[in-house]
Amino acid sequence: MDLGLKGKRALVCASSKGLGLGCARALAAEGVDLIMNARGVDALEASATSIRQEFGVDVVTLACDVTSEDGQAALIEAAQGVDILVNNAGGPPPGMWTDWDREDFISALDANMLAPIALIKALVPGMMDRGWGRVVNITSVSVKSPIPVLGLSNAARAGLTGYVAGTSRQVAGSGVTINNLLPGIHATDRAISLDKGVSDQQGITMEEAKAQRAATIPAGRYGTADEFGATCAFLCSQHAGFIVGQNVLLDGGAFSSAM
Ligand code: NAP
C-alpha cells in the first residue's frame, strides 16, 4: 500500500533508538525526510547515517533534550513547516507510590506531557494553515491499564491523553489528526531496564524475568520497533485522515477487554 507520504517532512523526537527509531525508519521507508533527535550524539548520528543510506531520504539531526525548554526551542526552530510530528521521550523510572516528591512529578510531566504539548502548540498551527498534518504521540499501555510501579508514567501520560482528546477534535477540521500510540512491552532498551527491575526485585535471572513478562502477553513475545513504526507510519498516512483522537494499543493482547 502506498501511504502517500513521499516528500513529506517529519520531526521524530527521541528517535536514535527503540520505538522512536522504529517510527523514523518506517516513515523514511515511505520517502519522508526526517529531523531526528536524541540527547546522545553517537547513536543519533549512527541511526541517521543508516537511514540515509538505506532509504535515501534527507535526515537532519538535532542532539538535545526534548524535555528542556532550550531543547524544545531548538527543535521547533528546526522543524518549521513539518507535516508530521512524532512526540516521544524517555519514560520515568519505576518505584513505589511513596517514593516520589513534587520534583519527580514535575520531571515526569515535563517529559511525558508538557514537552509533547509544547511541540503540538508550536507546530500544529502551521499544519492547519497548510491544511494537512499528522501528530502521533508515543504514550503507553499504562494509559488504559495502569502499571503500579510506573506511577509517574501513569500520571503524566493520562494528562497528555486528556489534552489530546480535546485538542484533536479542535484541529481535525483543518486536516490535522492527532492520535496516540500505546506501546505494551516492546523489545527495546527500555524493556531491558524494566526486565532488570523485575530480575533485581525477585532475585531471578534476566532470562527468567523476560520469560515471566512475555508470559503475560497472549502473543507470547515482546513487540518489535519495526511493527510499532509501521503502525505509526499508517497513522501518518493519507489513508488515516478519518482517525482522530484515538488511543491505538499495540500490546500483543496483554490488556484484555471487549473494546
Ligand atoms: P528506549 O529504547 O530507551 O529509547 C529511548 C530513545 O529516546 C533513545 O533514542 C533516547 O536517546 C531518546 N531519549 C530519551 N530521553 C530523551 C530526551 N529527554 N530527549 C531526547 N531524546 C531522548 O525507549 P523505548 O522503549 O523506545 O520507549 C519510548 C517511549 O515509549 C518511552 O517513553 C517509554 O517509556 C515508552 N514505552 C515503552 C515501552 C516498551 O516496552 N519499550 C512500553 C511502554 C511505554 P538518548 O538517551 O541518547 O537521549
End-to-end CA distance of the chain: 27
The radius of gyration of the chain's CA atoms, rounded to the nearest angstrom, is 18
Predicted confidence at residue 194, as pLDDT, reads 85
Phi-psi region of 203 (alpha: psi -120 to 50; beta: other; left: phi over 0): left
Round to whole Å and give the CA distance between 244 and 259. Answer: 17
Predicted confidence at residue 87, as pLDDT, reads 98
Task: Give nearest CA residue, ligand 1 atom 44.
Answer: 140
Q: Ligand 1 centroid to 98 CA: how many Å?
A: 24
40 lines ligand 1 (CB under 6 A): yes
Residue 198, all three cell numbers: 523485575
Predicted confidence at residue 193, as pLDDT, reads 87
Round to whole Å and give the CA distance between 233 and 57. Answer: 15
Round to whole Å and give the CA distance between 74 and 21. Answer: 20
Round to whole Å and give the CA distance between 224 and 251. Answer: 10
For 13-44, b/e burial (b = at least 16 CB within 10 A) is bbbbbbbbbbbbbbbbbbbbbbbbbbbeeebb
* Nearest atom (ligand 1) to Cα of 153: 34
Which residues neighbour 18 within 8 Å (Cβ) at sequence distance 6 or greater? 186, 188, 189, 190, 225
Round to whole Å and give the CA distance between 100 and 106. Answer: 10
Predicted confidence at residue 242, as pLDDT, reads 98
72 lines ligand 1 (CB under 6 A): no
Predicted confidence at residue 156, as pLDDT, reads 97
Q: How many CB atoms lie within 10 A of CB 94?
A: 18
176 lines ligand 1 (CB under 6 A): no
252 lines ligand 1 (CB under 6 A): no
pLDDT one digit per residue (tens) for the chain, 259 residues: 999 999 999 999 999 999 999 999 999 999 999 999 999 999 999 999 999 999 999 999 999 999 999 999 999 999 999 999 999 999 999 899 999 999 999 999 999 999 999 999 999 999 999 999 999 999 999 999 999 999 999 999 999 999 999 999 999 999 999 999 999 999 999 889 889 989 999 999 999 999 999 999 999 999 999 999 999 999 999 999 999 999 999 999 999 999 8
Residue 127, all three cell numbers: 499544519
| For ligand 1, mutation pick of 25, 149, 190 (most atoms within 8 Å of CB) | 190
Round to whole Å and give the CA distance between 71 and 190. Answer: 22
Task: Give nearest CA residue, ligand 1 atom 20.
Answer: 38
Q: How many residues does the chain have?
A: 259
**Domains of the chain, each with CATH number or no CATH:** 9-184+225-250 (3.40.50.720), 187-222 (no CATH)
